[in-house]
Amino acid sequence: MKSATAPARVRGRGRARRPVWGEGMKPRVVVTGLGAVTPVGVGKDAFFEGLRTSRNGIGRVTRFDPSSFRTQMAGEVRDFVATDFMTEREAHRLARFAQFAVAAARMALGDAGLTVDRANRDRVGVVMGCGIGGLETLEEQVGVLHSEGPRRVSPFFIPMMIPNMASGQVAILTGARGPNLTVTTACAAATHAIGEAFRTIQRGDADVMLAGGAEASITPAGFAGFCSLRAMSRRNDEPEKACRPFDRGRDGFVMGEGSVVLVLESLEHARRRGALPCAEVAGYGASDDAYHIVEPDPGGEGALLAMQRALLDAGLSPADVDYINAHGTSTPLNDRCETVAIKNLFGPGATKVAVSSTKSMTGHLLGAAGGVGAAACVFAITTGIVPATINYEEPDPDCDLDYVPNVARRAQVDVAMSNSFGFGGHNGVVVLKRYER
């Protein structure tokens, strides 16, 4: 099906081209490195292996006693050692979410074979998405305030807590002096961060951008807030089966934590240094539902608009898309509304597109979720494996697409789309494609 807003097909290959007026005006942007700190693995190789084997990273909470909470499970990062990636002094001054971000950024730079030095540091920037920031630090220091008084509150309290310290500390500890931003658009934050980094390179403000998201909100206050919203799953007797996107028995999301950072470069810069791109960022779209503070638009109109804009920006049509990493939170409303949006975009072809939610394995990383989704798209493009939606046991009549149930699937993926939708109605979509010379 051809979208009403998609450019016409040309040259007989079934692919749509960018409008002639745009050719030569915007530099191509490629992905040359990836770093990951996730519940299914720390490091690119471990994360990819987790996706390949459909590893479940969700279990009963260990970071605090969850017994008194309605929800008692999460996707925790249990094999992360901060001092593997930074000094003890540095780790002591960073909140957990910022530790994740710095670790992922340093791994991404290593994967890209890129060193930030005096020669290039002014042209290397950072954009990170973060929904909440140092919530654990906030809770600890408020406790100190009430129990010991204001003079005992740490001087590092504010610098550790504020959400912009993921991007700030990545710059400080890597030396990147280019454009530096933090995007705080709830669960769409990391996707918006990747999209804005893409735009930063396109307009010539940087040659390289570190982009992604970081979050660490598995805390008593975080859980209490989401439990009060009744947004999280209560399947406490089977925590490993609690996150079940698109399944009829889904009853809420499962919180996750971690960080994923991509190294984006202009193709010209990557070529000059002999880097081999693993994918290309083709398009970016954003919108808002303008509907409700926490509920998605039932007709999926905002999500549809973001997907249309991303494809138009990429010069592609819906028929070109091989895989969608869905937002797929395992909440009754979100999964149904996203399905509606995909069906409205793809029409009769919707059932032919592989759609999966890797949140079924990692949990929902909130402001970092879009980084995981983009990385899963890179995984699918580079390995020829589409990650699964695990815990899919009973089809929902309202969710009737190909959700790649339970087992990863071999398939050629040339174009992949990553969807992210957040509280406040924020929608973000990035399109990645196979790199071709």
Residue 184 sits in a domain of what CATH number? Answer: 3.40.47.10
Mean pLDDT value of segment 15-27: 52
Buried b (16+ CB within 10 A) or exposed e, 219-236: bbebbeebbeeebbbebb
Q: Is 243 left (phi over 0), alpha (psi -120 to 50) or beta?
A: beta
Q: CB under 8 Å to 377, separation ≥6 — which residues?
A: 279, 323, 325, 413, 416, 417, 418, 430, 432
Q: Does the pLDDT at position 417 exceed 50?
A: yes
Residue 410 lies in a domain: yes
172, with CB counted inside 10 A (0-12, 13-18, 19+), is middle
Domain interval for residue 415:
27-433
pLDDT of residue 1: 37
Q: Does the pLDDT at position 3 exceed 60?
A: no
pLDDT of residue 351: 96
Residue 22 lies in a domain: no
pLDDT of residue 12: 34
How far from chain centre, in Å, is Cα 402? 21
Q: Does the pLDDT at position 21 exceed 90?
A: no
Q: Where are the beta strands (DSSP E) in 72-147?
A: 73-74, 124-129
Q: Which residue has the tokens 């925790």?
A: 76
Q: What's this model's pTM, rounded to 2 decimal places?
A: 0.93
Q: Work out the mean pLDDT of the chain and round it to a whole number.
A: 94
**pLDDT digits over 306-346, tens only?**
999 999 999 999 999 999 999 999 999 999 999 999 999 99
Q: Give me the number of domains the chain comprises.
A: 1
Cα–Cα nearest to 253, from 133, 428, 427, 75: 75
Quick count: other Cβ atoms within 10 Å of Cβ 7? 17
Q: Which pLDDT band, with edges at 50, 70 and 90, does 24 fall under? A: low
Q: What angle do CA 144, 145, 150 make, to 5 degrees?
A: 120
What is the Cα–Cα distance from 196 to 131, expressed in whole angstroms?
Answer: 16
Q: Between these two residues, 222 and 437, which has the higher pLDDT value?
A: 222
Q: Which residue has the tokens 């398939």?
A: 411
Q: CB under 8 Å to 433, separation ≥6 — which residues?
A: 279, 280, 282, 314, 316, 381, 414, 415, 416
Residue 14 lies in a domain: no
Residue 390 lies in a domain: yes
Report, as residue numbers or ranges, the catalytic residues: 187, 327, 364
Residue 104 lies in a domain: yes
Quick count: other Cβ atoms within 10 Å of Cβ 257? 29
Residue 191 lies in a domain: yes
Q: What angle do CA 325, 331, 335 make, to 5 degrees?
A: 45
Mean pLDDT value of segment 240-244: 98
Q: CB under 8 Å to 382, separation ≥6 — which residues?
A: 278, 279
Q: Does the pLDDT at position 14 exceed 60?
A: no
> Cβ distance 127 to 193 under 8 Å?
yes
Q: CB under 8 Å to 21, separation ≥6 — which residues?
A: none
**pLDDT digits over 173-212, tens only?**
999 999 999 999 999 999 999 999 999 999 999 999 999 9
Q: Which pLDDT band, with edges at 50, 70 and 90, does 5 fall under? A: very low
Q: Which pLDDT band, with edges at 50, 70 and 90, does 437 fall under? A: confident
Q: Does the pLDDT at position 20 exceed 60?
A: no
Q: Which pLDDT band, with edges at 50, 70 and 90, does 18 fall under? A: very low
What is the Cα–Cα distance from 394 to 56, expressed in whole angstroms?
Answer: 19
Side-chain half-sphere CA neighbours of 276 within 13 A: 2
What is the sign of the dihedral through the CA atoms of 225, 229, 234 and 239? Answer: negative
Q: Between these two residues, 14 and 65, which has the higher pLDDT value?
A: 65
Mean pLDDT value of segment 154-167: 97
Q: Is 305 left (phi over 0), alpha (psi -120 to 50) or beta?
A: alpha
pLDDT of residue 4: 38
Q: Does the pLDDT at position 160 exceed 90?
A: yes
Q: Between these two residues, 174 and 21, which has the higher pLDDT value?
A: 174
**pLDDT digits over 352-382, tens only?**
999 999 999 999 999 999 999 999 999 999 9
Query: What are 288's strand-pairing partners?
Result: 426
